[in-house]
Chains A and B, each alone.
Chain A
Amino acid sequence: MSLLSHIPVPALHLNVLATFAAVAWQGARSHAEDEDAALLKRLREGDEEAFLALVGRYQGTMLRLARSFVGSGAVAEEVVQDTWLGVLRGIDKFAGRSTFKTWLLRILVNRAKSTGVREDRSIAIGDAGPAVDSARFDDSGAWMAPPEHWVEDSEDRLLAESLAEEIRAALEELPGRQREVVLLRDVDGLTSDEVCDVLDISEGNQRVLLHRGRSRLRQALESELESA
């Protein structure tokens, strides 16, 4: 008898709904992993085009992550180049136990850390304010100043650019570790497992950092849209 048959159907149903987005990502991801593997094979055979294709695939993710650690754009570019040189030199050491992507990004994080990091990294993981100012709730914990309605406004094409800018600026203001988790999860679409692997943090810490970061970005959008 299969294990699944012991799980009550409603629970299964809820889980399916909850993980729908994650599964959608996974579908895209395994395709991306296949492409990486094919490019890696060609790279090992000495194909420069394959190298440039791999560089292009991860350029944005690597630059953003490197900048988050080292701050300056020029230093971040050096870190990215240094990472790729390390990848080329160690190409035969990549055993495929992790995906190429997490292997690559772990190397990047190590290089970035040894290059010197920004000062905003010392803030403790649990040390942050509430997701929403406590003054907005009454004594019973119910909303007193509830969220205004701006989700529909945010879909206005004319606002798209300024909202993306708002998020970019708010990301820049986040403490380093929150910024890295939000970048990897919400900007670059890594899974929580991948982020834990790349940043070498526990699943619980990953969630706390993601929560703080997303909550602050929401606040930034709220101030922007409510003042508009």
Chain B
Amino acid sequence: MILSRRKPYVCQEMVELITDYLEGALSRSQRRSFEAHIAGCEHCTEYLKQIRTTIRISGRLREEDLTPAMAEEFSALYERWRLESD
């Protein structure tokens, strides 16, 4: 069985491949090389953790509620539409 014909990735390539890896867009052999590098490189492992942390922190920016004032505006909008559609 041929394990990998691909030249091993260097760190500088790894940081550019990371999104394709997380998106599941690497070919099987690319993925194998990527994971082999991660397994042996603490710096790239750290980098991958940092990207995952970045994604997680972005997910915290979600809260944005409809304020009562906005809800009132949308009520008025709805009424306007009701009137024009009657």
Contact = CB atoms under 8 A, between A and B. Distances in A.
The majority secondary structure among interface residues of chain B is: helix
Nearest to A142: B11
A210 B47 contact: no
A52 B31 CA distance: 46
A205 interface: no
Q: A134, A160, A214: which has the most chain B beta carbons within 10 Å? A: A214
Contacts of A56: 65-66, 71
Contact of A149 (B20, B46, B81): B46
Given A137-B12, A141-B13, A187-B61, A18 B24 contact: yes
Given A211-B18, A221-B57, A137 B11 contact: yes
Interface in A47-100: 48, 51-52, 55-56, 59-60, 63-64, 77, 81, 84-85, 88-89
B2 to A, nearest CB: 14
A51 B74 contact: yes
Classify chain A: how many residues form its interface, as a range.
Answer: 35 or more
B54 A160 contact: no
A197 interface: no
Interface stretch (A32-40, A110-118, A161-169): A161-169
B28 A163 contact: no
A211 B16 CA distance: 8
Contact of A150 (B50, B58, B75): B50
B36 interface: no
B15 A85 contact: no
Interface in B47-66: 47, 49-51, 53-55, 57-66
Contacts of A60: 62-65
Interface of A: 11, 14-15, 18-19, 22, 46, 48, 51-52, 55-56, 59-60, 63-64, 77, 81, 84-85, 88-89, 130-132, 134, 137, 140-143, 146-147, 149-151, 154, 160, 163-164, 167-168, 171, 182, 186-189, 192, 207, 210-211, 214-215, 217-218, 221-222
Interface of B: 10-13, 15-16, 18-20, 23-25, 28, 31, 43-44, 46-47, 49-51, 53-55, 57-66, 70-71, 73-75, 77-78, 80-82, 85
Given A60-B65, A132-B15, A189-B59, 14 more contacts: A22-B24, A55-B71, A88-B81, A130-B16, A141-B12, A150-B50, A151-B50, A164-B57, A167-B54, A167-B58, A188-B62, A210-B23, A217-B58, A218-B51
8 contacts: A59-B65, A88-B77, A131-B16, A143-B43, A146-B43, A147-B47, A154-B57, A207-B25
Q: Which 9 residue pairs spanning A and B have beta carbons closest together? A: A141-B10, A60-B64, A211-B19, A146-B43, A186-B58, A141-B12, A88-B81, A143-B43, A56-B66
